[in-house]
Amino acid sequence: MRKFYGVTLKNPLMLGTAQYPSPAILAEAFKTSGASVATVSLRRENGADQDGGQGQAFWSLIRALDVKILPNTAGCHSVKEAVTTAHMAREMFDTNWIKLEVIGNTDTLQPDVFGLVEAAKILTDDGFEVFPYTTEDLSVADRLLNAGCEVLMPWGAPIGSGQGINNPLGLRSLRAHFPDTPLVVDAGIGLPSHAAFAMELGYDAVLLNTAVAKAGDPAQMARAMANAATAGQLAALADPMEPRDMAAPSTPVIGKAFLS
């Protein structure tokens, strides 16, 4: 099991906390899945509600989950906005972990990789442990690592799309080029099979939200996602066979009885 800034996760599922039908269903999804990390947007907290309001009620619920908290800079479109949000999140959630998002396109929610690298450098220099939401581009990955990031979180598909893994070749290349770096497929996963496939590629965790929160039974889907991610992880560790172009009999023909 790979470590994320010195932390070993017991479960390869990282789960978001937005869009659930109710706080009780959110809590049940975490309970049934055993997800090890909860991602939280600062925008879910209302600064005006700090004295017993909805923001504090939500934060109390998150703390009760007893998981690692990963605040994010969701919705930020500039370096300044992302850095400011990260500092506010560190103060509020008392953690140096930050999922760094700098959005470059409003339709696809694709990362602004130029702003991402700049913001990552600023934050790592200030003591943050950055989890950058990025693309599968190898040169961008290099720049993020040089900026001080120790984890990379390439997208599988656009956020909330449920398309799965759009570029398996790109994700395979990223894994091959950075064998010792913790890698997380973040965004786009819609089905347990997508989560399993991501882990079969050799990734260390998957991060998802919408596929669980918007399911008819979020708790059941969360458990399915966790089981699939674990199965994919075990498959990768088992060193699976390579696919063949031709059939190969599983039963040997040597010693087979032939009728005369």
* Active site positions, annotated: 99
Is residue 168 exposed (0-12), middle (13-18) or buried (19+ Cβ within 10 Å)? Answer: middle
Task: Return left, alpha or beta for 10; rule: phi > 0 is left, psi -120 to 50 is alpha, else beta.
Answer: alpha
Sign of the CA dihedral running 26, 32, 35, 37: positive
DSSP class of residue 78? S
Measured in whole angstroms, the distance separating CA 162 from the mean position of its chain's CA atoms is 14
Q: What is the largest CA-CA distance in the chain?
A: 90
